[in-house]
Amino acid sequence: MIIGLLAIFAVDLADAFWVARLGTLELAALGFCFPAVHVIFSISLGLSTAGTAVMAQRIGAGNTDNARNFARDSLIISILLMAAVAAIGLLTMDLIFSAMGATGTTLVQIKSFMSVFYPSALVLVIPMVANGMLRGAGDTRWPAIIMVIVAVLNAGLDPLLIFGAGPIPALGLKGAAWATLLARVVSVFIALGILHYRERLISWSRPTWQSLVESLRHIGRIGLPSATTNAITPLATGLVTAVVAGFGDAAVAGLTTAMRIEVCALLGVFALAVGSFPVMAQNYGAGNSERLLTARKFTLSTGVVISLVVAIPVYLFAAPLTGIFISGGLVQETATTFLKIVPWSWAGFALVFMISSIHMATGRPFLGASLTLVRLLALLIPLTWLLSRHFGLPGVFMAFVLANLLSAVAGLTTFYLFKPRNHTQ
């Protein structure tokens, strides 16, 4: 699981590493793209989470045939939904990124990247949803392998397409988007092949409207709160980026570089949440309350320990870590300051993230989503605006700290007050 998630984050890090070699302007443009890219990823992850939960619950209840039909329906629904999202994204590029503070050449660079990335959403969602259903069936090995293949292909294609070689022209920032797109195309065929030939977990019969509507209801019940939870994060990041844009492109590049490092540092937390989710969902579906209680306690306590353990080396080696991407100037100074302040609140973030996942897996998806909404909309965004006005960039970083810690208090309250719902088949 950790290897698979590391592979996902490696794609983002590889893009940032090679784009940084183009210059601060291109790295800042990629930073502006960061929220939009992760909205697409978050919607895909929400659909994948729904696939994991429903597949795990149906297999746990012994409904294998219904699980196969759901796999077929969820892929159809996911493709249609992502096509609509990509079209909206293409039509609103100027509006969205201008509102975030991008102007001039930076905006031109952003549009060159997103004009390729938005259409690639169609080949992102297929393996994401397929991998989610494989995990729901208890197979975590192949989803990890598929993600590693994508990361390796992307890492190899990035320098080739960004800087060019021989007959291949240098595409600059757009080359990073093309590298990701081509790697994802390969993953589509592998993921569907494993789902069909190895696991026999998909039906290729023609779906009925009744079946599609029923599957959409299940996806909406779990996927909508999950997608909302995940998508709110990059949307909030976009608003924070808009505030930071007032300090210049270098500040934006520094912030998004630090946030990429933060995501990788918290890899263990994310892996624990993803790995424990189908375990809790299967035990919830089977009505095994004793095992479910054990899994909930283990997930929560282990997540906090992981976040505390990784915070120490990140704090100590903040400057060398940021220097991997770019050395000197405001970009590295901004990223280093972030990594000196924010990691001490990662335990609070881990609590909120784990408790949200627990609620999602045990029949309270909207309660789980509400915790993220509180952390980002009620705390992070207003605190960022307020503290940045009085303390500048360090105020933005303190907003992250306060949002993580205060939302953790709210999360713990819901954890002890709201137990898993009684499950009905």
Residue 63: helix, strand or coil by DSSP? coil
Taking the C-alpha atoms of residue 229 and residue 372, their distance in angstroms, rounded to an integer, is: 6
Q: Directed axis angle between helix 2-20 and helix 141-163, to 10°?
A: 10
Torsion of CA 318, 319, 321, 324, to 10 degrees: 170
For residue 113, being part of any structural domain is answered with: yes
For residue 422, being part of any structural domain is answered with: no
Q: Cα–Cα distances in Å, from 294 out to 279, 288, 356?
A: 11, 10, 17
For residue 425, being part of any structural domain is answered with: no
Dump pLDDT digits (tens) for 105-162.
999 999 999 999 999 988 888 988 888 888 877 777 888 888 889 989 999 999 999 9
Closest C-alpha to 393, from 327, 342, 318:
342
User: What's the domain range around 140?
Assistant: 2-417
Do residues 232 and 373 touch, judged by C-beta distance below 8 A?
yes
Rg of the chain, C-alpha, whole Å: 21
Question: Which region holds residue 169: left if phi is over 0, alpha if psi is between -120 and 50, else beta?
Answer: beta
Residue 287: helix, strand or coil by DSSP? coil
Regions of the chain short of the pLDDT cut 70: 1-5, 61-62, 223, 225-230, 419-425
φ, ψ at 22 (rounded to 5°): -80, -30
pTM of the model: 0.73
For residue 424, being part of any structural domain is answered with: no
- Which amino acid, 409? V
Tell me how far apart the terminal alpha carbons of the chain are, to the nearest angstrom.
Answer: 29
For residue 140, being part of any structural domain is answered with: yes
Taking the C-alpha atoms of residue 228 and residue 263, their distance in angstroms, rounded to an integer, is: 19
Question: Which region holds residue 122: left if phi is over 0, alpha if psi is between -120 and 50, else beta?
Answer: alpha
SS (H, E, C) 207-268: CCHHHHHHHHHHHHHHHHHHHHHHHHHHHHHHHHHHHHHCCCHHHHHHHHHHHHHHHHHCHH
For residue 8, being part of any structural domain is answered with: yes
For residue 423, being part of any structural domain is answered with: no
How many structural domains is the chain composed of? Answer: 1
Taking the C-alpha atoms of residue 33 and residue 418, their distance in angstroms, rounded to an integer, is: 37
DSSP category for residue 92: T
Q: Sign of the CA dihedral 57, 61, 64, 69?
A: negative
Dump pLDDT digits (tens) for 23-43.
888 988 988 888 888 888 888
